[in-house]
């Protein structure tokens, strides 16, 4: 039944332990995700990902959250990447694309083939304390311009992107890592604002990540979107007509853990129409999620069919990407990064950061000149 394909898992440590090897062999997950805690150096991260793949029979999604700015897992291994907001401030589509390409090339160099970026949340005032420089604009059309170019840059490097956090955290005032935010906004307004990037980019997004925020005006009760059939199947799949992979945000986040134990939330995400549940930290949580999916598939034939549908979708997606995209990182794994190569990547990051600063200053000066001319 390939139930493991419905999970992307995280873990502690910087090397493949016998315990982790056993977990991977048993579960056979769709992918693994590394965080800063797992990455000491570029070469070590590459080795860790390569060793994980040895214990899984299908090609792994090797994933990372790398947006730049405050969400940058490579800061100590390669260097600092500019945030989305910093790059957006230049107003340059060429630099938007270069942002994706530079980040994608760094992902590729360390052995990653999936980057959970870009953020498509609108930069409304309500979420500013939470989202900060992760969100680029309160105008959905501007978000689309940046995100489309960023995704093209990732693709240039052979890396898959993922739009997040559906249906949108722009009006959320709480951090889903800790609490369940409730966004009091009707579907009509969400459709005209927060959902516009997903509607327009539905063919550009290999993956969409669903958030744990609640939208009671849409679902009639305060249920996380990641567990909602109304959001995942009725709106994202049917109304928006999205056909790529649907993944949850981390199922260990406080917003969803406070709502339901992981045994229920992992099952409910898949039942609602999701393809992959992220379980990003504790081995115990990974095992509990996996075992609950198996139990429910054995108990409920309808759920078993839902599991098989997503498993086939994921495996077909991997096969199609490997076959159709000659740049795909999953098709051609990169060789271990040498110190010289990582130094070159670090140098290019520094140059890109300088380029962003110069372009922003030039744009600011130009805009100031225009205002002065009109005065």
Active centre residues (catalytic): 177, 249
Q: Are 84 and 350 in contact (CB under 8 A)?
A: no
User: Smallest Cα–Cα separation from 119: which of 82, 158, 165?
Assistant: 165
Q: Are 216 and 224 in contact (CB under 8 A)?
A: no
3-state secondary structure of 136: coil
Q: What is the DSSP string of 276-307?
A: EEEE-S-HHHHHHHHHHHHHHHHH-HHHHHHH
- Burial classification of residue 340, based on how many CB atoms lie within 10 Å of its CB (0-12 exposed, 13-18 middle, 19 or more buried): exposed
Query: Distance between CA 31 and CA 53 in Å, rounded?
Result: 9
Q: Are 317 and 67 in contact (CB under 8 A)?
A: no
Query: Distance between CA 82 and CA 146 in Å, rounded?
Result: 14
Q: How many CB atoms lie within 10 A of CB 317?
A: 19
Query: Distance between CA 253 and CA 251 in Å, rounded?
Result: 6
């Amino acid at each position: 039944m390939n139930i493991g394909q419905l999970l992307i898992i995280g873990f502690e440590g910087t090397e493949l332990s016998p315990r982790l090897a056993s977990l991977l062999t048993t579960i056979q997950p769709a992918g693994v995700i590394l965080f800063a805690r797992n990455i000491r150096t570029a070469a070590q991260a590459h080795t860790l990902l390569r060793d994980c793949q040895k214990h899984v029979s299908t090609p792994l999604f090797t994933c990372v959250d790398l947006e730049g700015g405050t969400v940058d897992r490579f800061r100590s291994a390669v260097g600092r990447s500019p945030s989305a907001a910093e790059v957006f401030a230049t107003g340059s589509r060429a630099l938007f694309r270069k942002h994706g390409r530079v980040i994608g090339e760094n992902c590729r160099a360390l052995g990653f083939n999936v980057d959970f970026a870009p953020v498509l949340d609108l930069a409304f005032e309500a979420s500013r304390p939470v989202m900060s420089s992760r969100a680029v604009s309160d105008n959905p059309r501007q978000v689309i311009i940046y995100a489309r170019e960023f995704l093209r840059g990732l693709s240039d490097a052979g890396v898959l992107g993922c739009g997040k956090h559906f249906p949108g955290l722009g009006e959320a005032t709480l951090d889903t890592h800790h609490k369940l935010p409730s966004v009091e906004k009707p579907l009509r307004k969400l459709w005209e604002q927060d959902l516009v990037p997903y509607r327009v980019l539905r063919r550009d997004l290999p993956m969409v990540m669903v958030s744990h925020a609640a939208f009671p005006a849409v679902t009639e009760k305060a249920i996380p979107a990641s567990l909602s059939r109304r959001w995942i199947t009725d709106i994202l799949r049917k109304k928006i007509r999205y056909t790529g992979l649907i993944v949850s945000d981390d199922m260990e986040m406080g917003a969803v853990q406070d709502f339901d134990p992981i045994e229920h939330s992992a099952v409910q995400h898949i039942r609602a129409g999701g393809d992959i549940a992220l379980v990003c930290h504790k081995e115990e949580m990974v095992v509990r999620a996996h075992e609950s999916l198996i139990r429910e598939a054995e108990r409920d034939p309808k759920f078993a069919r839902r599991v098989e549908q997503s498993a086939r979708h994921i495996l077909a997606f991997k096969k199609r990407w490997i076959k159709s995209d000659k740049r795909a990182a999953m098709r051609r794994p990169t060789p271990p990064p040498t110190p010289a190569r990582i130094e070159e990547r670090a140098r290019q990051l520094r140059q890109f950061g300088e380029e962003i600063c110069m372009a922003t200053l030039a744009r600011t000066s130009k805009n100031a000149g225009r205002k002065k001319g009109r005065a």
